[in-house]
Structure 1
Amino acid sequence: MHDELRAFTEWVGEGRKLTQTGKLTLSDARTLVALLKTGDEIDPKIGDRVFRTKSSTELPGLNLIVEWAKATGLVKVVKGRLLPVKKAAPLLNDPKRLWEASFAALGKMSQTLFPKNYWYSSLVGEEFALIWPALQRSLYGGPVPVSNLRELAWQIASPYYEMRDPEAQRRMADQDIDLLLTVLARLGVVELTEETAALTPAAVHAVQRALGEAAPGEPLYQIRVTLRESADPVIWRRLRVSPAIALARLHDILVTAMGWENSHLHLFTVGGVLYGQASPEWELDVRDEKKTRLQEVLAQAGAAMEYEYDLGDSWRHDIVLEEILTAEEGVRYPMLVDGAGACPPEDVGGIGGYEHFRRALADPGHDEHDEYVHWAGLNSAQEFDPARFALEATRRALTSAG
């Protein structure tokens, strides 16, 4: 793909005149389809009929390259003309930087990859800002079945919409993920088989940077996360993470490492300042966790912060920066180092409710014993062990979640 971007930018030269609607002229489109080998067919013939191409936007292969060049910052539209961006010119002679820039531009490509029309709006396109980072995190963990990537996208997008025909919407969402994977393979981001997708070596480092993960030789934080007021046993996790991750990313890591379901609101508190999901619905003064990096709030060993999950049950966690290490070659982060204690059930009523839950389970004669066994989805009270922590299973979950 970056070769096509370079060839297209060189074709733009000193500038090209666009139509009144800001599109390539059909004459230029014909030239580019041949020059770039986009695979588009102009004036396609079906049976005995010829369907005249009326706009360059009807040529998806060419349109993808044009819009990608804009998103990458190689060209821009000024007063009805397509012009090269002069400061981007060095990229054309640096294949590595051009590839990196085109990869970084992917997040801006949802409208081009999944265009809306009068009868169909892509769920993947609508929620691409959430789906694309999640797909990167999943792929970062190693080869992934394509079916898992489809399912991940569906689980992210589908809750936001009421659908008359969920099965049809699911099929179209799956097709959109397949289209995205084809584009990623074309760019050299993934290697595809019939059943799996895996990042290419070059893409591993690009995704690593996109996710803010530590590369070999970079600083690495070792943090201890302790569920406040937990006892017998104390519930805690030790993690190694990049200091460059946003707090929003840290939240994703914490819910996986602790075992929470990520179905409730959360807040970080540092020195009396609150960080969370930016929303006009907050009555509190909350700073955007997506725009705040961990290293901005924890700068030296011994520094601490609070993480609260589920503002109703109020599960408060103390996070302490234990050590600043160096990321190692061949190791992927975040890494779960150790931990202890089972994660309490969701919606049990906070620490007090959890202690009551444990007492009821431990006493077969307790008035609520059977009720809690049923509520927790257990076959017997012995299935829940407060001291059990599945370290290896949690490590795998953290890896698959990115």
Structure 2
Amino acid sequence: MSAVTEGDMSPWATAIHQLVQWVGNGRTLTTTGQLRVADGLELVQLLGTGDDPHGGAGGQRRLSSSRNLPVLQGLLTGALEAGLLRTQRGRLIPVKKYAQQAATAEGVRRLLVANAHRSAQAALAPEAAPPDLGRVRLAALWAELARNRETPLVASELASMLWNTSAPGNGAIEQTQASGVRADERIEFDEVVSWVLLDYAHLGLVAMNADQTLVQLTPTGSREYDECLAPTAEASSS
């Protein structure tokens, strides 16, 4: 299983940094709030997204909307969700609050990682879950990855471990019985864990094999745990 080597920057974070730099002081959007086609095609080349310039239509058919450039749309969504960009009065503009971080690829990566942690914590606990369940499950996920830094973990077994991880004062079996959990809810949870791991893989924190059944911390992910997550977990438990 290939992993990101020491010092490598996530291509995803690098591309989002380049996107933010391209936006500069702002870019005009279409009346439907999309990037203009010409701008979208320029970004496909600039960022090397690999999107089909014909929008997947084949032949020489002209691209009708930048919405048909899925990788570019994913990068744009990532920048918006992380708070690096926003839309205002028909324009795509940078968020001044994060101007300093947005100036460097590493600063952008840190913002994206922070957003990934927030999203993962929310995703790992349903709305009716006990307080702190998402935080507890996220901590358990990273602790398990850190304990097995040299060994790839089976993603489905990792999901099973998280499913049975409970918030303080709530047994996993009691939670399951009380909520009437169905088999399809467990399947949905496995999918959520897969999405969480893929988000981290995009940021170079974990590496996954081609069929996404195995996962392992990268050197970058190990640093993230040792420098940021482990101290936080220790402070919370003390």
After TM superposition, the score normalised by the length of structure 2 is 0.63
Determine the structure 2 residue equivalent to 1:356: none
Q: Take 1:66 and 1:22, find their aligned partners in 2: how far apart are those partners?
A: 12
Q: Give the alignment partner of residue 39 of structure 1, picking from 50, 56, 76.
A: 50
Shift of 1:196: 3.3
Determine the structure 2 residue equivalent to 1:181: 197
Q: Deviations over 1:123-145 (max 9, x none)?
A: 87967x83655433432332432
Q: Take 1:97 and 1:175, find their aligned partners in 2: how far apart are those partners?
A: 30
Identical aligned residues as a percent: 26
Determine the structure 2 residue equivalent to 1:192: 208
Shift of 1:91: 2.6
Which sits farther off after the overlay, 7-16 or 175-184? 175-184
Q: Deviations over 1:72-124 (max 9, x none)?
A: 332222222111233433334544433222211114557xxxxxxxxxxxx87
Determine the structure 2 residue equivalent to 1:141: 147
Shift of 1:152: 4.1
Q: Deviations over 1:361-391 (max 9, x none)?
A: xxxxxxxxxxxxxxxxxxxxxxxxxxxxxxx
Q: Take 2:217 and 2:116, find their aligned partners in 1: how far apart are those partners?
A: 15
Shift of 1:36: 1.5
Q: Take 2:219 and 2:97, find their aligned partners in 1: how far apart are those partners?
A: 28
Q: Deviations over 1:161-208 (max 9, x none)?
A: 866x839x72x6655544543442332101334653222233233234
Q: Take 2:42 and 2:125, find their aligned partners in 1: how far apart are those partners?
A: 30
Relative contact order higher in (CA < 8 Å, ≥ 6 apart): 2
Equivalent pair of 1:71/1:108 in contact (CA under 8 Å): no
Structure 1: 5+ residue runs without aligned partners?
A: 111-122, 216-240, 251-293, 295-402
Equivalent pair of 2:207/2:215 in contact (CA under 8 Å): yes
Structure 2: 5+ residue runs without aligned partners?
A: 1-11, 128-132, 166-174
Q: Deviations over 1:268-327 (max 9, x none)?
A: xxxxxxxxxxxxxxxxxxxxxxxxxx5xxxxxxxxxxxxxxxxxxxxxxxxxxxxxxxxx
Which structure has the larger Rg over C-alpha atoms?
Answer: 1
Determine the structure 1 residue equivalent to 2:231: 214
Structure with greater strand percent: 1
The amino acid of 1:186's aligned partner reads: H
| Shift in alpha-carbon separation, 1:2–1:210, aligned structure 2, 3 A | same
- Structure-to-structure mapping, 1:223-238, within 5 angstroms: none
SS at match of 1:214: helix
| Shift in alpha-carbon separation, 1:17–1:205, aligned structure 2, 3 A | same
SS at match of 1:39: coil
The amino acid of 2:13's aligned partner reads: H
Equivalent pair of 2:116/2:200 in contact (CA under 8 Å): no
Determine the structure 1 residue equivalent to 2:9: none
SS at match of 2:215: strand
Q: Take 1:45 and 1:64, find their aligned partners in 2: how far apart are those partners?
A: 19
The amino acid of 1:196's aligned partner reads: L
Shift of 1:9: 0.7
Equivalent pair of 1:72/1:101 in contact (CA under 8 Å): yes
Number of residue pairs aligned between Structure 1 and Structure 2: 201
SS at match of 1:45: coil
Q: Take 1:142 and 1:77, find their aligned partners in 2: how far apart are those partners?
A: 42
Equivalent pair of 1:190/1:199 in contact (CA under 8 Å): yes
Q: Take 1:124 and 1:53, find their aligned partners in 2: how far apart are those partners?
A: 37
Equivalent pair of 1:139/1:199 in contact (CA under 8 Å): yes
Determine the structure 2 residue equivalent to 1:22: 33
Please provide the CA RMSD for this pair: 4.0
SS at match of 1:19: coil
The amino acid of 2:221's aligned partner reads: A
SS at match of 1:14: coil
Equivalent pair of 2:85/2:94 in contact (CA under 8 Å): yes
| Residues 1:90 and 2:100 are matched in the alignment | yes
Determine the structure 2 residue equivalent to 1:237: none
Determine the structure 2 residue equivalent to 1:205: 223
The amino acid of 2:156's aligned partner reads: S
Q: Take 2:13 and 2:111, find their aligned partners in 1: how far apart are those partners?
A: 9
Q: Take 2:51 and 2:190, find their aligned partners in 1: how far apart are those partners?
A: 23
SS at match of 1:73: coil
